[in-house]
Amino acid sequence: MRAIIGSAALALAMAPAWAQESQFADYQKRTAEASPVELFELIGEDLWKKKQGPNNVSLERCDLGKGPGVLKGAHAALPRYFKDTDRVMDTETRILHCMMTLQGRSREEALKRPFGDASQPSEMEYLSAYVAGHSRGFKMTPGTKHPKEKAAYELGKKLFTVRTGLWDFSCTSCHGTEGKRIRMSELPVLSDPKAARPLMATWPAYRVSNSTFKTMQWRINNCYRQMRTPEPVWGSETVNAMNMFLTVTAQGATYRGPGTKR
């Protein structure tokens, strides 16, 4: 509720520096308690079961790595290598694959509106909430054995430190040093498992400040946008490699999402 969040923000602004961490944790706990994230899962379920596309079928037979139609724990075991496409895919990339193969939709049509807004969230956002919700309580175990999984991890690791764009930024410009923050958001050192675990365990997530549901694709795209580089192509090798690097760094964490962010 707005009133509660408003007062929490005010309290934070006035808090002395030493109290920042516990205040921030308290704020996160409170927003999570009032999170409407389950509503996104409910609408996502309807969309998952809705027959659509040229083939007029639902996504219920989608194989997210655990077999056709198996949702339990699927998100927590991604990204991984898929034999049928001969590439590494994360949850959203795999959902897109199912839209194209099962439902017969074109990539253009399925991705017409990948990122929604508060008034109208996107189909992909609802679907990723629904799929991720089935992994609550599962240990995060992304693929690490196949050569392509190893290659994706290495590529992501490299991309994490590559300086690029107008401002000559890399991911490590913000996420490479302990103790940094932007306004009231702490900037975790994402190459450190200690910081990556709680974070990756709560994406995708509902964002309280603008009432929208955000996916990992959006997070990575928006980081690149903030770095003033061209945004990567949706579901591309770059995004999947980055997601692979972050998820492998966080592996072993218990998935708790979809989460709630500032």
Partner 1 sequence: MAGPMKMRATLSGGNTDVRVLMSHPMATEQQTKGKPHFIQNLTVKVNGKTVIEGEISQAVSRNPVFSFRLKGGAKGDKIEVSWLDNKGDTNKTETAVA
Check binding of 36 to partner 1 (CB under 8 A): yes
Among residues 16, 108, 119, 145, which is the contact residue for partner 1, using CB under 8 A?
119
Which residue among 98, 171, 174, 223 is the active-site one? 223
Among residues 10, 13, 42, 233, which is the contact residue for partner 1, using CB under 8 A?
42
Q: What is the DSSP letter of 206?
A: E
Among residues 12, 43, 47, 223, which is the contact residue for partner 1, using CB under 8 A?
43
**Which stretch of DSSP H or E encloses residue 47?**
helix 37-48
What gap in Å lies between CA 51 and CA 32, rounded to an integer?
A: 33
Q: Which two tokens stand for residue 35?
A: 């999170």
Question: What count of other Cβ atoms lies within 10 Å of the Cβ of residue 51?
Answer: 11
String of DSSP letters for 201-216: TT-SEEEGGGTEEE-H
What gap in Å lies between CA 134 and CA 181, rounded to an integer?
A: 32
Check binding of 35 to partner 1 (CB under 8 A): yes
- Nearest Cα to Cα of residue 174 among 134, 219, 204: 219
Q: Which residues inside 202-261 make contact with partner 1, applying CB under 8 A?
A: 211
223 is catalytic: yes
Q: Which two tokens stand for residue 178?
A: 């302990």
- Nearest Cα to Cα of residue 145 among 253, 251, 67: 251
Check binding of 5 to partner 1 (CB under 8 A): yes
Check binding of 38 to partner 1 (CB under 8 A): yes
Q: How far is the CB of 219 from partner 1 (least distance, A)?
A: 20
Among residues 9, 12, 15, 39, which is the contact residue for partner 1, using CB under 8 A?
39
Q: How far is the CB of 159 from partner 1 (least distance, A)?
A: 35
Mapped onto helix, strand or coil, the DSSP state of residue 166 is coil
| Region of 22-30, 39-47, 158-166, 173-181 interacting with partner 1 (CB under 8 A) | 39-47
Q: Which is nearer to partner 1, 115 or 169 (CB)?
A: 115
The single residue listed with the structure tokens 């910081």 is 195
Q: How far is the CB of 31 from partner 1 (least distance, A)?
A: 10
Sign, CA dihedral 246-249-250-252, equals positive
Amino acid at 199: L
Q: Give the number of residues in contact with partner 1, rule: CB under 8 A.
A: 15
Check binding of 118 to partner 1 (CB under 8 A): yes
Q: How far is the CB of 33 from partner 1 (least distance, A)?
A: 8
- Nearest Cα to Cα of residue 93 among 208, 247, 236: 236
Q: How far is the CB of 43 from partner 1 (least distance, A)?
A: 6
Check binding of 34 to partner 1 (CB under 8 A): yes
Catalytic residues: 223
Contact footprint for partner 1 (CB under 8 A): 1-3, 5, 33-36, 38-39, 42-43, 118-119, 211
